[in-house]
Every structure is written in C-alpha cells, then in structure tokens.
C-alpha cells in the first residue's frame, strides 16, 4: 500500500484479520493485533495510536525505555509487549515497563522474572517459548539455523491422560489412516537436502481451513482407546 496513511494500512490489516477469522470460524475481536514498533521512533508510532492501535511490540528493553514512557503519558490505555529475547539482568526493567513478555525461554530467566515481580508487586503476562526436539521459535539449534524451517503446533490440556494417542507407530500390522490430501512437493524438504544436496524451492502451501477440518476430525478420533498413535 505505497502512499497509504498509517490509518489506512492499519485498517487493511484489520480487514485481513477479519477475513481470516471468518474462515477459521472465529471472531475477529478475539484476535489481538500487535503492531511491532521496534526501530521506529515515537513520531512514527503516534499516528497508529491516533488511529486506534493499542497493542505494540518491542524487542529491546533499552529502546522501549527511551520512547514509551512519554507515549504512555499521552495515552494511558496502551499495552506493551516484549517480543525479543530477554537477558536475565534486564528482567527488572522488563517487568517495570512491559505488560506481556513473550520470550521466557530458560529457568534462569523465570527465576529472575519471579524475583522482579515479587519486588515490584507487578505481574505482566508471561509466555513460555515452545521448544520441540531440536526445533525452536528462533529456527536454530546451538546457534546453527535449521533447514528446512519447521512449523510448530501447540496443544492444550488433555482431559484424560489415560486416553491419549502419542506420536509414532507402535506395532506391526497397525492400520494407518492418512488424513487429507498429499501431493509430491520437494521444495525445502529433507529429501531434497540430504539425497540431492540442494536447499531450494518453496515449501508446500498450507490451507488453514483444510487443516482446521483435519484437526476437527482427528481430535475426537484420537480420544478413543483404539487410537494408539498419531503423526503428521
């Protein structure tokens, strides 16, 4: 949207969220839009505030300290999210400034945040970083990038742990049911990397509506005792 005003760009994003929410069977009001304001000065942020945006994300504590106290003095209902990695020695500053901390990724940081919250009597929302095997939200392991880049699905509470299908197949002779359609797609695949020695191409497209339908079918099916495993 070259030449569009901040208010027009914001409205376009909200319209896109509304369309996606309707496709997913959700209310757009249940989706929180966080405007990432890192590296942008207060003069660039004020037009978005004037257009009604109230949730903002920053990835550096020091940068946020330099610009947000004055902006919050102008609009007291703003909410600030820390979306970047947080050093433990900055935990106190983060607790004092942010309403949500999105990158809690290690026990030492949890301890530092807990101590800072106890001292300040302030408890911002905290979100644990999800790590599965050698996959992280930073797409790296031990500082090395992971290719192809994976997608991670987070799962909620299990009502009955005695009826829970785990990943991987168990025994020979089990029935394997393939859910959804599958087609040959080599772009960014492990096969292309390991067998052909190439890292290229686009990853397979994702149809979120179809994935939602697949999930609605799989969830009740895997709650049956006869369903012993599930994998993708």
DSSP letters of 166-189? BSS--STT------S------TT-
Domain around 194: 157-232
Tell me, yes or no, whether 176 lies in a domain: yes
Contact 99, 80 (CB under 8 A): yes
Whether 149 is covered by a domain: the verdict is: no
206 inside domain: yes
The whole-model pTM stands at 0.61
| pLDDT at 130 (0 to 100) | 66
Here the tokens at position 155 are 């799962």
> CA-to-CA distance for 192 and 63, rounded, in angstroms?
42
Q: Would you say residue 226 lies in a domain?
A: yes
Residue 220: how many CA atoms within 13 Å on its side-chain side?
3
- Identify the pLDDT of residue 34: 95
Q: Which residue has the tokens 């990397």?
A: 193
The continuous run of DSSP H or E covering 126 comes out as strand 125-128
Backbone angles phi, psi at 101, to 5 degrees: -120, 115
User: Taking Cα atoms as reference points, which of 83, 92, 86 lies closest to residue 114?
Assistant: 92
Closest of 66, 78, 83 to residue 126, by C-alpha: 83
- Residue 178 falls within a domain, yes or no? yes
| Predicted pLDDT at 31 | 92
**Domains contained in the chain, number:** 1
pLDDT at 60: 94
> Is 152 within the bounds of a domain?
no
Strand, helix or coil at 219?
A: helix
Residue 200 lies in a domain: yes
Digit-by-digit pLDDT tens for the chain (232 residues) are 667 888 999 999 999 999 988 888 889 999 999 999 999 999 999 999 999 999 999 999 999 999 999 999 999 999 999 998 899 999 999 999 999 999 898 889 999 999 999 999 999 999 987 655 554 455 555 656 555 555 555 556 667 767 666 666 777 787 777 887 767 778 877 788 888 888 888 877 778 888 888 888 887 777 776 665 554 4
Phi, psi of 175 (to 5 degrees): -80, 130
What phi-psi label fits residue 207: left (phi over 0), alpha (psi between -120 and 50 degrees) or beta? beta
Q: What angle do CA 7, 13, 17 make, to 5 degrees?
A: 140
């Amino acid at each position: 949207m070259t030449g569009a005003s901040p208010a027009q760009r914001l409205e376009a994003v909200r319209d896109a969220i509304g369309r996606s929410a309707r496709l997913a069977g959700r209310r757009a009001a249940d989706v929180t839009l966080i405007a990432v304001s890192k590296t942008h000065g207060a003069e660039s942020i004020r037009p978005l505030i004037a257009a009604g945006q109230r949730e903002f994300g920053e990835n550096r504590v020091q940068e946020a300290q330099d610009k947000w106290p004055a902006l919050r003095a102008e609009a007291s209902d703003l909410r600030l999210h820390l979306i970047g990695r947080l050093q433990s020695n900055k935990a106190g500053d983060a607790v004092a400034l942010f309403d949500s901390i999105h990158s809690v990724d290690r026990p030492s940081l949890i301890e530092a945040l807990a101590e800072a919250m106890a001292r300040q009597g302030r408890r911002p929302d905290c979100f644990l970083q999800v790590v599965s095997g050698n996959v992280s939200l930073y797409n790296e392991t031990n500082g090395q990038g992971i290719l192809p880049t994976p997608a991670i699905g987070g799962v909620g509470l299990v009502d009955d742990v005695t009826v829970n299908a785990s990943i991987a197949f168990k025994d020979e002779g089990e029935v394997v049911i393939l859910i959804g359609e599958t087609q040959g797609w080599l772009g960014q695949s492990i096969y292309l990397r390991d067998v052909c020695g190439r890292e290229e191409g686009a990853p397979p497209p994702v149809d979120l509506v179809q994935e939602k339908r697949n999930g609605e079918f799989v969830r009740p099916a895997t709650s049956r005792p006869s369903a012993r495993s599930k994998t993708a």
